[in-house]
Structure 1
Amino acid sequence: MSKNTGLNAIEMQYLRLSLGLTTEQVASITSTTHQDVLAWEAGETDTPVPVQKKLLDIDDIIEMQVLNTTDGIEELFKKEPKRRLAFVVYPTQAVYTQYNPEFLSTLPLTELYSTAAWRIKKECKLVLEVDVSLVALDAEAYKAYRADNGMSESRESRAKWAATQLV
C-alpha cells in the first residue's frame, strides 16, 4: 500500500476481525464487493481511504459506546453497588432493527452491536470487576415479561428483562 493510505493488508484484516465481521459484511457496509475485500486483505490492491475511514469510524463508535457505558456503570455502582449485569444482544438483524432503530446509522449490523456488547463485557470485568452476561433477546419472552409487569417498550425494560434471565 502507498504511504498515504494508512492501513496495510494485515491491518485491514484484523480491523475486520476485531469488528466481528465477515468479508461479505464489510463489502455490504462499504458498498464494495466481496472480491474487493479479499483483494485488500491479500495485499493485492490498496484499500480505498474512504473504506478505511468508514471501518475505523465504526470502531471508534464502538469504543465510545464502551467508554460511555462503562463510565455510566461506574457511576451507577457508586450509588448502588452490584457485581452482576446483563446486556441484551440481538439474535438476528431483523430483531436488532426492530428494537434499535436509533443505532442503524452508526452500527448498521447486529454483529457490530454485539461486538460493542462483548467489548463492554470485557472492559467491565477488567476495570470495574463486574460480571456482565450477554443475553440473547427472546422477543416472545420479553413481550410476556412486559405485559406481566405493565411495562412499555424501552431500553430500560429490555435491561430489566435481561436481568431476570441471570437467575
Structure 2
Amino acid sequence: MSKNTGLNAIEIHYLRLSLGLTVEQVAEITKASTDDVLAWETGEQQAPDLAQKKLLDIDDIIEMQVLNTTDGIEELFKKEPKRRLAFVVYPTQALYTQYNPEFLSSLPLTELYNTAAWRIKKECKLVLEVDVSLVALDAEAYKRYRADNGMSESRESRAKWAATQL
C-alpha cells in the first residue's frame, strides 16, 4: 500500500502553507522532528511516504468538507435564498477540542478546521456568490446566547450564534 506520492521540497512546503500549519505542527502530525520537516522543505531529505500521505490525506479531508458543505449550502439556498452566512472558527486549540471532538481524528488541529472554513468561504464566494463571514467563537458570549434562548449545545446553536454576530 506504500505508494510514492513523490512530493518535492517545494510541494511539501506549499502543502504545509496551504494547510495553514507551522513546521512544528507538521512535525507533530507526521511524528517527525522539526529538523526533519525543515530538511524536507529545503530538499535536503525526501519526506517519507507516510508523512506525505498523512498531509495529502488531510488536504483531501478538507477538500471533501468544502465540497460537502458547499453542496449543502447550495441545496439550502434553493429552499431559502440567502446571500450571507457565518461560520464559527476556533481561536484556540482548547476551544476547538471542546466543541469539535468528532473532528479530532480527521482534523486534529484547529488550524486545519479553520483552513477548511477559509476554503469554504472562498468557494461560496466564487461558485455560489454567497458571502461567508468567519466568526471566532467567544465561548462566554456563546454560553450566554444559549442560556438566553433556551438552547442546548450543538453545531446548529453555534451557527445561530455566529449569525447574530454579523
User: Which secondary structure state, in structure 2, belongs to the residue aligned with residue 132 of structure 1?
Assistant: strand
SS in 1 for 2:41: helix
% identical aligned pairs: 88
Q: Deviations over 1:45-87 (max 9, x none)?
A: 1100000000000000000000000000000000000000000
1:100 is aligned to 100
1:78 equivalenced with 2:94 (yes/no): no
Give aligned pairs, total. 163
Runs of 4+ aligned structure 1 residues displaced above 2 Å come to none
CA contact (8 A) 1:86 1:132 kept: yes
- Structure 2 equivalent of residue 30 of structure 1: 30
Tell me if 1:12 matches 2:12: yes
Give how far 1:5 is off: 4.7
Q: Give the conservation status (yes or no) of the 8 Å contact 1:20–1:112.
A: yes
Counterpart residue type for residue 70 of structure 1? T
Once residues 29 and 61 of structure 2 are traced to their aligned partners in structure 1, the CA distance between those partners, rounded to angstroms, is 15
Give the equivalent residue in structure 2 for 1:60: 60
Give the letter for the 1:58 counterpart.
I
Specify every segment of 5 or more residues in structure 2 that has no aligned partner in the other structure, as ranges: none
The TM-score normalised by the length of structure 1 is 0.97
Please report the RMSD computed on the Cα atoms of aligned residues, expressed in angstroms: 0.6
- Residues 121 and 132, structure 1, Cα contact 8 Å, conserved in 2: yes
For the residue of structure 2 that corresponds to 1:108, the secondary structure is: coil
Instruction: Give the alignment's TM-score, normalised by structure 2.
Output: 0.97
Offset, 1:27:
0.2
